[in-house]
Amino acid sequence: MKRAWLILFVAGVVLAMATAKPRASLSAESSANTPSYTADGKLKFPANYREWIYLTSGIDMSYRPMGGMDHSMFDNVFVNPESYRSFLQTGTWPDKTMLVLEARVAGSEASINKAGHYQTGGVMGLEVHVKDTARFEGGWAFFDADNGVTGNLLPKEMECYSCHAQHAAVDTTFVQFYPTLLEIAKKKKYAECGVCERRKREGSGKVGQRFRKRVGGTSRVT
């Protein structure tokens, strides 16, 4: 009888350990996908962002007339998985959301490609849009993270803040350029109607989102 109880006890311990490990792993993963900062206020750039949820790509998008660019550029947008899942349920972004914009050089002729553009390995810039309501006035902040290690906080006076406040479809983010999320936001009543109507008139052919604008051949966050 004692032997049977001992076997059951050992089996219970093994089962508890087996279930505890995945939970610990999930907790660590979730922690890695939330905003973290250095002592001097810089954002610790999420090195695993390419394992996050891919939202969209744009090519040569700009919110003002272009000039001086001698190359094309792709913008790719990724969001942390926890915030994406929350958006699917609510139609808006929860606190601790991080959206990463990755800018890559566009190539045109290589291998068998004879027309159009493809993405190259050359990363031109990295930017992060962070929602941290306890830390930032208005809830959101922009970081320039071109070095891929830490991001420098962009001051509130920069045009990117007012641009997003005035033209974003959902909570200062350009969901109007996220083809799989806009309809969710509209159904949940979180999308700005004016922005959605403009998007509808323009058609659904433009996909892609960017925080960046290019002026005279240079790039800035917007």
pLDDT tens, residue by residue, 164-210: 999 999 999 999 999 999 999 999 888 775 555 554 545 443 333 33
The structure tokens 């891919």 sit at 54
Residues facing residue 74 across a β-bridge: 59, 104
Q: Quick one: pLDDT band at residue 106, thresholds 50, 70, 90?
A: confident
Q: What is the tens place of the pLDDT at every residue in 32-41?
A: 799 999 999 9
Three-class DSSP category at 120: strand
In the chain, count H helices and then E strands: 5, 9
Domain ranges of the chain: 34-221
- pTM recorded for the entire structure: 0.73
Q: CATH for 34-221?
A: 3.50.70.20
